[in-house]
A and B are shown apart, each in its own frame.
Chain A
Amino acid sequence: MPDTPGAPLLRRRLVTDMVDWNMVLLTRRELSIRIKILHVINNILFPSIYMPSSSLHVSLQPSQFSLPACTIMDYSTLRRQITFMKKSFFDQGYLDEQFNQLEELQDESSPNFVEEVVALFLKDSPRLLTNIEHTIGKYPQDFHRLDSLVHQLKGSGSSIGAVRMKNECSVFKAHCNDKNLEGCRRSLQRMKREHATLKQKLESYFQLLRQVAPREHAVNSRK
C-alpha cells in the first residue's frame, strides 16, 4: 500500500513526538492511551511506517511514572536527540564552553561526573536564591551580604557553564554596588526564571543520557 501524501513528514513528527513524550512525566493511563493511538496510526493510516523493533514494549514499574530506559526510541535516534538537545543549549545561550570542560573531566573512573556536578549545583542554588530573597526583604538592607550570596551563585553557575545565570548574577552585583534594591529585586526574579528553565532543560538532558548509559556501559565493557 503506497504512502499517503505527507506520510514521511508525519512519520518524522511521530518519532519526534515519541522523544518528547520521553521528556514528559506520564501517568500510566496517559501512557496507555498514547500507545493505543500509536497502534491505530501505525496499522490503519500508515502501514509502511517505520517502527523500531524495540518499539511499544513498555514495562511500567508501579513506583515510576516516567518512561523507562531505552524502550520506545532506538539507540541511534536517542543519541541524535541528545546531541541536538545539547547543541540547542549552546545555541540558545543557556550553556557555554565550560560545560564541555566538565565533560573532559568525565572518564571511566568518574562516569557520571558531569551529572554529579550539575546535580550539586541544582541542589545548592535554590538555597542561595532563597537566602538572597530573604536578605532582600530584610531592613536595613545588607548589600554586602547580598553581594556575597550572589558571588557564590555566580561562581557555581560559571563552573557548570550556566552562562545566562552567570550574566544575571553580574547584573545583580552591579545593582548591589549601586545600592539599588529595586534593581536587585527585578534581577532576582529573572535569576529565578533562568534557574527554573535551566533546571528543566538539564534534567531532561540527563534523563535522556541515562537511557543510553546502560547500552554504552555494555559497549565499553566489551572493549
Chain B
Amino acid sequence: MASNAQGSHMKALLVEDAAVETLFHSAILHMFHCETTVAKTGKEAVDLFLEGKKFDIVLCEKEMPVMNGLEAVEKIRAIGETDVKIVGVSVDCNAMEAFMSAGADVFVPKPITLDVLSAIIQEIINKKNNAMV
C-alpha cells in the first residue's frame, strides 16, 4: 500500500491547528516520505505561498482561527497556484461542497486513512512523471 508511493519525496503543506491531528497527519505524510511543513492557520498557509514556497500537496482543515481553510484555499488559487493538489479535510462531512467550491481538488473526511492518501499521492506522482515525459 504505502510502497507504491515510496520515494516520492514530495513537499506537503499541512494546514491544521489541532495538535493531535497535526501529529497524526504528519506521521502519515512522513510514511509516504513527504517533506512536511505545518501551518496552524489559513493565513500562515497563504503567506507561505506568497513567500514563493512550492508544495505538491496541501492538506487543509476547514475550521481554524484567524483564517479558515475555505478562505485559505480560495486565496491560494487566487494567487495563481493552480497546480498544487489541495485536499480539503474535515470531520464535518458536509464540508465537501464548500471545499470544492473554494477550489479544492478533493475532499476527504477525517480521519484520513493510509489507503486514501496513498491513492492521492500516487496520482500526483503519476502526473509529475507524465509531465516529465
Contact = CB atoms under 8 A, between A and B. Distances in A.
A159 B109 CA distance: 11
Interface residues of B, number: 18
Interface of A is mostly: helix
A52 B85 CA distance: 57
B46 to A, nearest CB: 21
A112 interface: no
A160 B20 contact: yes
B91 A158 contact: yes
Contact of B23 (A98, A116, A154): A116
A145 to B, nearest CB: 12
A98 B27 contact: no
B111 A158 contact: yes
B114 A104 contact: yes
Contacts of A93: none
A117 B23 contact: yes
A142 B114 CA distance: 37
Given A101-B113, A104-B114, A155 B27 contact: no
Interface string B85-97: 0000011100000
B21 A159 contact: yes
Interface in A110-126: 110, 113, 116-117, 120-121, 124
B28 A154 contact: no
Interface of A: 98, 101-102, 104-105, 110, 113, 116-117, 120-121, 124, 148, 151-152, 154-156, 158-161, 166
Given A110-B27, A117-B20, A161-B111, 20 more contacts: A98-B111, A101-B111, A104-B114, A105-B24, A105-B27, A105-B31, A116-B23, A117-B23, A120-B19, A120-B20, A120-B23, A151-B63, A154-B91, A155-B18, A155-B61, A156-B18, A156-B19, A156-B21, A158-B91, A158-B110
